[in-house]
A and B are shown apart, each in its own frame.
Chain A
Amino acid sequence: DIQMTQFPSTLSASVGDRVTITCRASQSISGELAWYQQKPGKAPKVLIYDASSLESGVPSRFSGSRSGTEFTLTISSLQPGDFATYYCQQYNDYSLTFGGGTKVEIK
């Protein structure tokens, strides 16, 4: 199975900060990766798919990039509603896998 290593596990930031979350795949997954946002008690919501494509309706402050097997989610200017947990997920392999999650907390 493909392992997804996500870091940091927790991130403290302030409104307006630029935030970066990274996910590293244990082997090549091409660009077949998504990023999700989850708030407490809610289902996850897809933000980015195919590594860098913005899901319809998602604000443009969210962006994704890829360098080989390393993937990055960037929030250009953190907003109050962005404090949540973020997960990466690869869908390249028959067995899908998520990263361990990054909790973005208020500093």
Chain B
Amino acid sequence: EVQLVESGGDLVQPGGSLRLSCAASGFTFSDHYMDWVRQAPGKGLEWVGRARNRLHSYSTEYAPSVKGRFTVSRDDSRNSFYLQMNSLQTEDTAVYFCARGAFCTSSRCPGPFDYWGRGTLVTVSS
């Protein structure tokens, strides 16, 4: 059974940092892209960032709203995916979901998020 479990959410002051983790199981982690998606209270879904797999040199992409402040990374040996968040702002307050992206063994791998974690809450407030 595919499982994604996020952890690390907390209350943090503006300007602070936080690192989220996503523990994956039940599938071959190294074959998939992995993504972070967030949802502010009462708002819609916003894609945050992506880490591609080894075939694509673990390359990363970011939403414009977080580029330069957030960093995604992964450790295939631990089946884990991470989101390092720096210079946090009040508008970063949200539930952060880890999501499984495309299974990728070719040069281009478009695909939906077929499994999601339950999310972890990040609150940025003084």
Point out residues on A near B: beta carbons under 8 Å: 1, 32, 34, 36, 38, 42-46, 49, 55, 87, 89, 91-92, 94-101
B interface, CB within 8 angstroms of A: 35, 37, 44-47, 50, 61-64, 97, 102, 110-114, 116-119
Instruction: Specify which of B62, B97, B113, B117 lies most central, judged by the most chain A CB atoms within 10 Å of its CB.
Output: B113
Query: A43-B116, A44-B37, A91-B112 are known contacts; what are 13 more A-B pairs with Cβ within 8 Å?
Result: A1-B64, A43-B119, A46-B112, A46-B113, A46-B114, A49-B112, A89-B112, A89-B113, A91-B110, A95-B61, A96-B47, A98-B44, A98-B47
Q: Contact check, B35 vs A43: say whether CB atoms are below 8 A apart.
A: no
Cross-chain contact A97 with B47 (CB below 8 angstroms): yes
- Indicate if the CB atoms of B61 and A94 lie closer than 8 Å: yes
Q: Which applies to chain A's interface (DSSP): helix, strand, loop or mixed?
A: loop
Bound-state CA distance A99–B97 (Å) is: 17
Q: Are B116 and A44 in contact (CB under 8 A)?
A: yes
Q: Which residue of B lies closest to A100 (CB)?
A: B44
Q: Closest residue to B50 on the A side, CB-wise?
A: A96
Rounded to whole angstroms, the CA-CA distance of A1 and B50 in the bound complex is: 15
Contacts of B46 in A (CB 8 A): 98
Minimal Cβ-Cβ distance residue in B for A33: B112
Tell me if A55 and B64 are in contact (CB < 8 A): no
